[in-house]
Amino acid sequence: MRALAIDVGSTSVRTALVDERGRLSHVARAPLPVRTPQPGEVELDGAALAAVTLETARATLAEGGGCDAVGITNQRATTLLFDPADGTVLGPALSWQDLRTVVDCLVLQGEGLRLAPNQSATKARWLLEHAPRPRGDWRAATIETWVAWNLSGGEVLVADRTNASVTGLARVDLADWDEAVLERLGLGRSLFATLVDSLGEVGRARALPGAPPITALIGDQPASLFGQGCVRAGAKLTLGTGAIADAHGLGHAPDSALRRPSGCYPTALLSAGGEVTWGLEGIVLSAGSCVDWLVELGLVGSPAEADARAADATSGGVAFVPALAGLGTPWWDFGARGAFVGLTRGTSRDQLVRAVLEGVAQRGADLVEALGREGVALEQLRVDGGVSASATVVRALADLTGVPVGVSAEREATARGVGLLALVGAGLLDLDDLEDAGAPEVMVEPRVGDDERHERRARWRAAVEVAKGSIPELSSIAF
């Protein structure tokens, strides 16, 4: 049994065949064209994204043979506008990272409608207002909708509830789109696809050899959670450009989609059989990007060198707060900026590198603490993402949280997760089969006592206070 996993990330598309044990083979990868025409603006070419996705999927199948099912996972909230009559993309696709609608969100907030610029809602309105031709019978789509439409040759027009949950446009219970919000934004109901479960056949991928069924649609973060075997309980931390923690623990539909006092927010983890599995999510805005910054500065030649240098050094009392783009959970301070604290004339390059990697781990520990304030008590934390290759970060994360950390055998567990879920959606696996398939490759146990842990965390919180409020006018903004 094999599924074709299609993973459309923020900067690349990755496809692979995934078997029932979660093993990936015949992996293909291609970059996505990303543009930043102005500071804070992040665009993709929607037509190119579809073409690259089809080409990459076909490459995997050409090398590996057929598949039993297709699963699509994707960057959430990235939004585009297209004409289903001819497939024309009307304007750019606005990345989830795009901030051009910040002012719109602030105006709406003053009018009692709270939306964030990283959600799809104001992006869809912006696209309509800036469309290159008079308005027609168009569709606004997140990426899973767009990819499924192209794979099916225009036959499938659906949106998955895990993606819909972060658009700002769906009802809190995700039963349908929120008519009141759509009306307030001037967005007609016909603009949006039909909401469907994450699992189950929605159509066939007629653009691929054999026209296999499309049986899973899910956002990238919950795909990673299930790809790491967290099926009924547990939490994962994806350490990528940023870092995102997702956890089971919200056993019912939330009363509100707004961020909670802990700095976490409710999110849909899976929709199956008409039932939504709810969880909690927290985010670090800068993680792997801080390691990339070290490379760009020339302090290290690669992330691997950063880890090697840090492994043989101490931080020498230096702390680094990774707030290059502000602080997410739990503080949500968009005006915070990165800071080194405790520098002396004797601080070495290796100590700076060590402090950066420890700072990333400290932010991961912040997410674990935030989940704890929501009543999520973890027996272990599972990690994936490029930064999970750093033994220094993983060791520090275990020591700072006091929780065993399991490192995924598959660094990017999103593809594994959606491949396995596609087999579930096709009726070839049971959901509980994913627990064994997602077992970690390495388990790192904490090895410091509570007193040392508490001392290190207290010093960290003092360092964060230095970084907070660096740009007051941005720190005053709350979404």
Each residue's pLDDT tens digit, 430-451: 999 999 888 898 999 999 999 9
Question: Would the pLDDT of 257 be above 90?
Answer: no
Q: What is the mean pLDDT of the chain?
A: 95
- Domain 229-407+448-479 fold is Nucleotidyltransferase; domain 5 (3.30.420)
**pLDDT of res. 127:** 98
Q: Please choose, from the candidates 394, 361, 116, the residue with its C-alpha nearest in 3D space to the C-alpha of residue 259.
A: 116
**What tens digit of pLDDT does each residue of 308-323 get?**
999 989 999 999 999 9
| pLDDT tens, position by position, 109-120 | 999 999 999 999
Residue pLDDT, tens place only, 381-408? 999 999 999 999 999 999 999 999 999 9
Per-residue pLDDT, averaged over 292-307, amounts to 96
pTM of the predicted protein model:
0.94
User: Do the first three CATH levels of 2-222 and 229-407+448-479 match, i.e. the same topology?
Assistant: yes
Which token pair is 8?
A: 């459309």
Which of 233, 264, 261 has its CA nearest to residue 247?
233
- pLDDT category at 37 given cuts 50, 70, 90 is very high
pLDDT in the model for residue 39: 85
Average pLDDT over residues 414-422: 97
Pairing assessment for the beta strands 79-83 and 158-160 based on DSSP bridges: unpaired
Dump pLDDT digits (tens) for 99-142. 999 999 999 999 999 999 999 999 999 999 999 998 899 999 99
Q: What is the pLDDT of residue 251?
A: 79
The whole-number average pLDDT for the span 29-40 is 91
Q: Tell me the domain boundaries of the chain.
A: 2-222, 229-407+448-479
Domain 2-222 fold is: Nucleotidyltransferase; domain 5 (3.30.420)
Q: pLDDT tens for residues 136-160?
A: 999 999 999 999 999 999 999 999 9
